[in-house]
Amino acid sequence: MTVQETGQAAGLRLDKWLWFARFCKTRTLAARLCGEGHVRIDGTPTRKPNATVRPGQVLTFVQRGQVRVIKVLALAERRGPASEARLLYEDLAPPTRENRMPNPLGDAPKRARGAGRPTKRERRAVDRLRDNVDDR
């Protein structure tokens, strides 16, 4: 993978860079993310997958419920392995619990063991007890 250094003024399509840096599984998903206006370049929202990304720019977008703030360090010529993709950017907001988007359904309720539905083992034990009571 040939990486262009930050000194060059060359640019790369936004959807391609997101795909090369492995933020999106496919280039189509990267283009959809850009086209729906979910990506900001240096704080400015963009709806163009063909927007030019240059080293030094900061991208902001939501990924898996987390707000990602990424500084572009380099451009790539191809989609390489994840170890090389990590060299293309610097994560300015590492994922923490505070960065996560709130779950609209709330957190899943916790219940104590034994509360609620019986397990298969417990149900069979209850059935054996009932069978023994009916035989008397």
107 assigned to some structural domain: no
Q: Which pLDDT score is estimated for 8?
A: 47
46 assigned to some structural domain: yes
Q: Which pLDDT score is estimated for 96?
A: 66
62 assigned to some structural domain: yes
Q: How far are the Cα atoms of 38, 40, 82 from residue 35, in angstroms, in the given order?
A: 8, 11, 25
127 assigned to some structural domain: no
Q: Which pLDDT score is estimated for 110?
A: 67
Could you tell me the residue range of the domain that residue 38 belongs to? Answer: 3-99
**pLDDT band with cut points at 50, 70 and 90 for residue 42:** very high
Determine what percent of the chain is predicted with pLDDT higher than 70.
Answer: 76
Whichever domain contains 81, its CATH number is 3.10.290.10
Q: How far are the Cα atoms of 62, 89, 94, 97 from residue 65, in angstroms, in the given order?
A: 6, 20, 13, 10
Mean pLDDT, rounded, for 39-66: 92
Q: What is the total count of domains within the chain?
A: 1
Please write the tens of the pLDDT for every residue from 59-82.
999 888 788 999 999 999 999 999
Spatial distance between the Cα atoms of 52 and 14, rounded to a whole number of angstroms:
6
Contact between residue 60 and residue 39 where contact means Cβ atoms under 8 Å apart: yes
Contact between residue 44 and residue 60 where contact means Cβ atoms under 8 Å apart: no
Residue 95 has pLDDT above 70, yes or no: no
Please write the tens of the pLDDT for every residue from 11-35.
999 999 999 999 999 999 999 999 9
Kindly state the DSSP code that residue 86 receives in the 8-state scheme.
Answer: G
Sign of the C-alpha dihedral computed for residues 66, 36, 77 and 10 taken in this order: negative
Please write the tens of the pLDDT for every residue from 97-113.
665 666 666 666 666 77
Residue 5 has pLDDT above 60, yes or no: no
